[in-house]
Amino acid sequence: MSATDYEVDIRDHQFVLFEQLKVQESTDPKYADFDAELYGMILDEARKMAEGTIAPINGPGDRSGCSWKDGAVTTPAGFKAAYKTFCEAGWGATTVPQDDGGQGLPAPVSLAVLEMFTGAGCAFMMYPGLTTAACNLVRHMGTDWMKETILPHLVSGNWAGTMCLTEPQAGSAVGDASTVANRDGDTYLLQGTKLFVSGGEQDLTENIIHIMLARTPDAPQGIKGLSLFMVPKLIVNPDGSMGEVNDIVCSGIEHKMGINGSATCTLSIGDGGGARGWLIGNEGEGITRMFHMMNEARIGVGVQGLAVAAAALGNATSYARERIQGTDIKKFKDVTAPRVPIIEHADVKRMLLYARSVVQGMRSFSLTVGAWADEMLDGGEGEHKDIVDVLVPILKSWNTDQCFEVCRLAVQVYGGYGFIGEYPVEQHLRDSKIFSIYEGTNGIQALDLVGRKMSMKGGAAFMATLNFLNESIEELSAHESLAAEKAGLEKSRDRLGQAAMHLMQQGMGGEQDLPISHACDVLNLFGDVVIGVFIARQAVIALPKLTELAAAAGKSADDAEWLAEDSEARFYASKIDNLRFYVHQVLPRTAGLLRAVTSPDRTVMTSVL
Ligand SMILES: Cc1cc2nc3c(=O)[nH]c(=O)nc-3n(C[C@H](O)[C@H](O)[C@H](O)COP(=O)(O)OP(=O)(O)OC[C@H]3O[C@@H](n4cnc5c(N)ncnc54)[C@H](O)[C@@H]3O)c2cc1C
Over residues 316-340, the mean pLDDT reads: 93
- Domain for residue 84, yes or no? yes
CATH number at residue 236: 2.40.110.20
47 and 113 share one domain: yes
pLDDT of 332: 84
261-290 tens-digit pLDDT? 999 999 999 999 999 999 999 999 999 888
| Ligand 1 center–CA 303 separation, angstroms | 19
Residue 593 has pLDDT above 70, yes or no: yes
Query: Taking residues 196-202, what's their average pLDDT?
Result: 98
Residues 330-377 pLDDT 10s: 998 888 999 999 999 999 999 999 999 999 999 999 999 999 988 876
Ligand 1 probe mutation, 124, 131, 176, 196, most atoms within 8 A of CB:
196
- Residue 5 has a pLDDT of 86
Mean pLDDT for the stretch of residues 554-579: 97
Which listed residue (167, 296, 426, 439) is catalytic?
A: 439
Q: Could you tell me if 20 and 146 lie in one domain? A: yes
Instruction: Indicate if ligand 1 lies below 6 Å from the C-beta of 197.
Output: yes
Residue at which a domain ends, from 123, 140, 155: 155
Q: Measured between alpha carbons, how far is 309 from 144 in angstroms, rounded to an integer?
A: 40
Ligand 1 pocket residue status of 196, Cβ below 6 Å: yes
Q: Is the pLDDT of residue 387 over 70?
A: yes
Residue-wise pLDDT tens digits, 63-110: 999 999 999 999 999 999 999 999 999 998 898 889 899 999 999 999
Instruction: Taking residues 208-233, report their average pLDDT.
Output: 96
Percent residues over pLDDT 70 in the chain: 98
- Which tens digit of pLDDT belongs to each residue from 456-494? 999 999 999 999 999 999 999 999 999 999 999 999 999
- Return the CATH number at 89: 1.10.540.10
Position in ligand 1 atom list of the atom nearest CA 259 = 1
76 and 126 part of one domain: yes
Q: Is the CB of 404 under 6 A from ligand 1?
A: no
* The predicted structure's pLDDT at residue 378: 57
Kindly give the pairing relationship between strand 207-215 and strand 159-164.
Answer: parallel
Residues 147, 179, single domain; the answer is no
Q: Does residue 215 form part of some domain?
A: yes
Q: Which of 95, 125, 155 is the last residue of a domain?
A: 155
On average, the pLDDT of the chain sits at: 95
Q: Is the CB of 110 under 6 A from ligand 1?
A: no
The reported pLDDT for the residue numbered 520 is 97
Mean pLDDT of the 33-50 span: 97
- Residue 141 in any domain: the answer is yes
**Which of 294, 438, 513, 604 is the pocket-test mutation for ligand 1 (most atoms within 8 Å of CB)?**
438
Same domain, 495 and 558: yes
Give the chain's domain count.
3
Task: Determine the pLDDT at residue 510.
Answer: 82
Q: Do 87 and 157 meet the contact criterion of CB atoms below 8 Å apart?
A: yes
Residue 438 Cα to ligand 1 middle (Å): 6
**229 and 202 both lie in a single domain:** yes
Written as one letter, the residue type at 438 is Y
- 393 in a structural domain: no
Same domain, 96 and 164: no
**How much is the pLDDT for 375?**
80
Q: How far is the CA of 421 from the centre of ligand 1 (A)?
A: 28
pLDDT at 87: 97
Which pLDDT belongs to residue 555? 97
pLDDT at 179 over 60: yes
pLDDT on residue 515: 86
- Pocket of ligand 1 contains residue 127 by CB under 6 Å: no
Question: Residues 413-425: what's their mean pLDDT?
Answer: 97
What pLDDT does residue 296 have?
Answer: 86
pLDDT band at 1 (very low <50, low <70, confident <90, very high): low
74 is a domain residue: yes
488 and 588 share one domain: yes
Q: Distance (Å, rounded) from C-alpha 178 to C-alpha 210?
A: 17
Measured CA to CA, the distance from residue 255 to residue 252 in angstroms comes to: 10
37 Cβ contact list (under 8 Å, min separation 6): none
Q: Does residue 208's CB lie within 6 angstroms of at least one atom of ligand 1?
A: no
**Domain residue limits at 204:** 159-284
Q: Do 61 and 196 belong to one domain? A: no
Is the pLDDT confidence value at 200 over 70? yes
Q: How far does residue 266's CA lie from ligand 1's centre (Å)?
A: 15
Kindly state whether residues 166 and 249 are assigned to the same domain: yes
* C-alpha triplet 396, 46, 111: angle, nearest 5°: 25
Q: Is the CB of 93 under 6 A from ligand 1?
A: no
| 411 inside domain | no
Task: Indicate if the pLDDT at residue 523 is higher than 80.
Answer: yes
Q: How many residues does the chain have?
A: 609
The last residue of one of the domains, among 155, 175, 199, is: 155
Decide if 19 is inside a domain: yes
59 and 150, same domain (yes or no): yes
Q: CA-CA distance, 565 to 543, in Å (whole number)?
A: 18
**170 and 110 in a common domain:** no
Of the listed ranges 118-127, 169-178, 373-382, 522-531, the least confidently predicted one is 373-382
**pLDDT greater than 70 at residue 250:** yes
Catalytic, 322? Answer: no
342 within some domain? no
